[in-house]
Structure 1
Amino acid sequence: MPVSPSISPPLRASREGVPRVNPDTPPHPSGTARPEANGAETGKAPALLLAEPDEKLAARAMARFAAAGVPVIACQDGAEALLQVGARHPGAVLLGAPLPVVGAAEVTRLVGRLHPVPVIVAAGPDGAEEATAALAAGAVAYVARPYRTEEILPLLTGLTRGDGSAGMLVVGDIELDPAGFHVHVRGRSLQLPVREFMLLRYLMEHANRLVSRSELTQALWGTDNLESNTLTVHIRRVRNRLREGAGSCCTIDAIRGMGYRLECRSSCHPGSQTRAPGPAPTR
């Protein structure tokens, strides 16, 4: 499993509530971003961007993340969240739904297209419909709001390394850069939506091992209660992108009733495990 992030000193809430970051603030000549008025250093990319319209909820959540050692910045609407993602390059984004100005689903879609980082959506009963739409748009997990850090911290550990130093993964002819969200097959770039990227990353981290459906849904969606066809659809999309779109020698085998396994033909590179012949996977 991924190593926990290397944590820099967290940003703290000001007396007024949620700290703000101005993306237009000019950097110091050294290239490090200028500290904000509350004294927090903003030169390093934060581990988490929190978009939460309720300032009291945001302040409480930030205090809990700070106690856990997670660097976090906060904003109050979807439009500002998009600006901050582009300006600050956080390791992950946490959206509170319902989200004003630009909704959680549209923010998720645009983040996935313009600045691919994992998006987690949080909602209570009043934001359930918007959170479901965000999941369909590519959010990787749906958590409760008000926020429970014990529920969110394991997801952050699995999704990102805050210091951007996650090592390159190489399996067969697939190269995946967890920090930069890049995938190359035979040296050619392969564009994947965020959720499919996370699925491929997890399978590469457990290459040649059977991974159960429940393990995948818990690791990538944060729940075991996932619509049965959702994982099947995402597996099929990644498999097709690898095999038909990129001509990879690796494939995702479906083991009926048990789970999935990423394997590569021996011709991928010297020393690879030889894969026994068999029928092409159908699911």
Structure 2
Amino acid sequence: MAVSDVESTNEGPGTAGTARAGAQGSVLVVDDDPTVSEVVAGYLERAGFAVRLAADGPTGLRAAEELRPDLMVLDLMLPGMDGLEVCRRLRAGEDGGRPVPVIMLTARGDEDDRILGLEVGADDYVTKPFSPRELVLRVRSVLRRAQAAAPAGTPQGGPEGGPRLAVAGLVLDPAARRVHKEGRELALTLREFDLLAYFLRHPGQVCDRERLMREVWGWDFGDLSTVTVHVRRLRGKIEDDPGNPQLIRTVWGAGYRFEPAPDTGAEHAFRTEDGHA
């Protein structure tokens, strides 16, 4: 199926009133089960989203690359190319551009699949069977994070994100949502960026997984392994030796602590881009 043939659920009988659909953003749903796709599309459209459908992995990947939706709902098990490979290739091809947020649909009980989905760059996951209302809430939550990104020309330090933060060779620009390590830009997912920003703003504090899920994900409950996986992925991108992390330390039985410079003391190591502590 060519990308031009990807079905738009806004085109069909009974949708004359959907001119406002899309006010909340565009969502690409990739699932080979038409019943699931149609139910999800219906709920998303009623919530104000413009929805496109794709029924296999290659078509979904092409649609994501060419249409650049605001968010992608991606089933794990797909013909032609599974959801993990779709997500992996999508992330590999973004090369520092605006990432397409991905919510992965996985089977209940397949913890390994959920973890793998997060590790290849998915921003969130929902297990089947799921409540369509829950999925809509997850979509809104992920999009709120994505839409917080300011245009590249936004003045530094503006209300959109605050001043840039620099520590241990890392420079994080909240307004542009970009991170550099020793001059090299890092490819972080939306959640990884938000997690790093939270750590940078709370140096020396012990943050348990419940707190991180509440403050970074905006959820009062959920699978805490999501936090664990994202911390591991973030370490893999910012630590010199992820197996012996020096920035994001594990406090056994309590959570994680960001230590900007363990040898010199956090009070001297952490500063904003303008040099103020």
Please confirm whether the aligned pair reaches a TM-score higher than 0.5, indicating the same fold: yes
Distance 2:77 2:93 in 1: 22
% same residue: 26
Instruction: Report how far residue 88 of structure 1 moved.
Output: 2.2
Indicate the RMSD between aligned Cα atoms, in angstroms. Answer: 4.4
Distance 1:271 1:67 in 2: 47
1:206-225 equivalences under 5 Å are 209-216=205-212, 223-224=222-223
After superposition, the C-alpha distances for 1:154-208 in whole angstroms (9 at most, x for unaligned) are 4334433465644446333444467976322465422346664453245346666
1:229-240 equivalences under 5 Å are 230=229, 233-234=232-233, 236-240=235-239
**Residue 256 in 1 paired to residue 239 in 2?**
no
1:12-23 equivalences under 5 Å are 12-15=9-12
Is the Cα contact below 8 Å between 2:171 and 2:181 reproduced in 1? Answer: yes
After superposition, the C-alpha distances for 1:207-257 in whole angstroms (9 at most, x for unaligned) are 66542123446756983252997466335324415xx79xxxx93343332
Q: Which residue of 2 aligns with 1:25?
A: none
* Higher deviation after alignment, 76-85 or 192-201: 192-201
| Runs of 5+ unmatched residues, structure 2 | 1-7, 151-159, 261-265
Equivalent pairs counted in the alignment come to: 238
Query: 3-state SS of the aligned residue for 2:125?
Result: strand
Q: Which residue of 2 aligns with 1:122?
A: 105
Instruction: Report how far residue 97 of structure 1 moved.
Output: 3.2
Which of 131, 138, 141 in structure 1 is aligned with 2:121?
138
1:50-199 equivalences under 5 Å are 50-115=29-94, 116-124=99-107, 133-161=116-144, 163=147, 165-166=149-150, 167-168=160-161, 170-173=164-167, 174-176=170-172, 182-185=178-181, 187-192=183-188, 196-197=192-193, 199=195
**Residue 271 in 1 paired to residue 276 in 2?**
yes
Q: 1:128 to 1:239 in 2, by over 3 A?
A: closer
Q: 1:236 to 1:176 in 2, by over 3 A?
A: closer
Query: 3-state SS of the aligned residue for 2:12?
Result: coil
Q: 1:185 to 1:12 in 2, by over 3 A?
A: same
TM-score (ref. length: structure 2): 0.63
Distance 1:101 1:126 in 2: 24
Is the Cα contact below 8 Å between 2:10 and 2:51 reproduced in 1? Answer: no
Distance 2:113 2:143 in 1: 24
Q: 1:84 to 1:180 in 2, by over 3 A?
A: farther
Q: Which residue of 2 aligns with 1:6?
A: none
Query: 3-state SS of the aligned residue for 1:139?
Result: coil
* Higher deviation after alignment, 228-237 or 150-159: 228-237
Bigger relative contact order, structure 1 or 2, given CA contacts below 8 A and separation 6+?
Answer: 1
* Higher deviation after alignment, 119-128 or 221-230: 221-230
Question: Aligned AA for 1:190?
Answer: L
| Runs of 5+ unmatched residues, structure 1 | 1-10, 20-36, 273-283
Q: 1:232 to 1:193 in 2, by over 3 A?
A: closer
Query: 3-state SS of the aligned residue for 1:257?
Result: coil
Instruction: Report how far residue 103 of structure 1 moved.
Output: 0.8
After superposition, the C-alpha distances for 1:74-132 in whole angstroms (9 at most, x for unaligned) are 22111111112112222332112321211111001111211333322113369887656
